Amino acid sequence: MFKKILIAEDFQGDNKSIVDTLTERMAITEIQEALYCDTAFSRVQVALNEGAPIELLITDLSFKPGTLPRKLTSGYELIKAVRKVDPNLKIIVNSVEDNPVKIKKLVEEDQINGYVCKGRKSLNELVEAVYAVCNDEIFISPQIDWNTQHNVVELEELDLLVIKDMAEGFSKREIRDRLIKAGVKPNSESSLDKRVSKLFVQFDVKNSTHLIAKLTRQGII
C-alpha cells in the first residue's frame, strides 16, 4: 500500500473528508495536502530531490483563482507538469467532471491511473481506486460510459485543424491559406466544403456555430 500521498484540492472540506477516509480505512500514515497546483507541484519536486518521492497524487481538475499569482491553474496543467518530472508517480483524479471524452484523454494521453467522479459514493470509490492503482490496475468510476457512439468519435487530424480554426473565427479562405502555408493537403476550398459538410452530417448539426458548440460540450475540442 502507498505510504506517501499528496492531495491537491482547493476545497478544505473535501480535503478533510479524503484525509480522514484514507487514514481510518487504509492506515496511510503520510498524507500531504495542497490547496494550489503550484504548491502540489513544488512538493512533488522537493520529495523527488530528497529521495523520498510522493507515491500517489490525488487531484481535482478545477481550482478557483486565489489571491496569489499562479503558474499552474488547473489539475490538467498539474498532471502534465508532474508527469514530466516524475513519470512513475501514480495519479488519481477526483472531480465532478463526467465527460467521457475528457476522461478518456486523461487516461490515454496523460496516463492517469484512476478517475473518481465526485458524488455520494465518491469516498467509497476513492478507496477502491487507491487499492486498484496500488495493484497497477486502472480504476474508472462505474457511471462513466465510454461505449456510447457519441463518446468515441475520433476525428482526423485535418478535421481538428479545420474545426479549431473555425472556432477561432478564421474564414474559409483564411483556413485554406493557413493549410497551404503549413503544407497540409488537401487544402482547396472545395475540399474544405466537403469536409465541413461531412462533419455536419456526422454530428447532426446545421451550421458551424452549432458544430463548434456540440464538439466543445463533448470535450472533443
| Count of structural domains within the chain | 2
147 is a domain residue: no
| Same domain for 44 and 101 | yes
Classify 7 as helix, strand or coil.
strand
Compute CA distances 161 → 80, 145, 158, 211, whole Å.
Answer: 22, 27, 5, 14
Please give the residue range of the domain that contains residue 205.
153-217
The mean pLDDT of the chain is 88
| Same domain for 162 and 109 | no
71 is a domain residue: yes
Report the alpha-carbon distance of residue 99 to residue 169 in Å, rounded: 26
| Same domain for 131 and 165 | no
| Same domain for 112 and 36 | yes
Report the alpha-carbon distance of residue 7 to residue 15 in Å, rounded: 7
Beta strands (DSSP E) in the chain are: 4-8, 30-34, 56-59, 90-95, 114-117, 139-140
pLDDT for 152 beyond 70: no
End residue of a domain, out of 140, 165, 180: 140
The reported pTM is 0.70
Q: Give 74's DSSP letter.
A: B
Beta strands (DSSP E) in 83-205 are: 90-95, 114-117, 139-140
pLDDT for 56 beyond 90: yes
The pLDDT assigned to 99 comes to: 79
Q: Which residues contact 178 (CB under 8 A, 6 or more apart)?
A: 165, 170
| Same domain for 131 and 34 | yes
148 is a domain residue: no
Classify 32 as helix, strand or coil.
strand
Report the alpha-carbon distance of residue 144 to residue 94 in Å, rounded: 13
The pLDDT assigned to 146 comes to: 62
Lowest-pLDDT choice from 107-116, 127-136, 194-203: 194-203
| Same domain for 36 and 131 | yes
145 is a domain residue: no
| pLDDT tens column, 171-187 | 888 999 988 888 888 88
Report the alpha-carbon distance of residue 221 to residue 214 in Å, rounded: 9
Question: Mean pLDDT across the stretch 66-93?
Answer: 93
Which pLDDT band holds residue 149 (cuts at 50, 70, 90)?
Answer: very low
146 is a domain residue: no
Position 7: which residue type? I
Q: Which residues contact 217 (CB under 8 A, 6 or more apart)?
A: none
| pLDDT tens column, 35-49 | 999 999 999 999 999
| Same domain for 95 and 46 | yes
The pLDDT assigned to 151 comes to: 44
Compute CA distances 182 → 160, 188, 189, whole Å.
Answer: 14, 13, 15
List the CATH number of the domain containing 53: 3.40.50.2300
Inter-residue contact 130 to 92 (CB < 8 Å) = yes
Return the percentage of the chain with pLDDT > 90, whole number: 47
End residue of a domain, out of 112, 140, 168: 140
Inter-residue contact 47 to 54 (CB < 8 Å) = yes
End residue of a domain, out of 140, 171, 206: 140
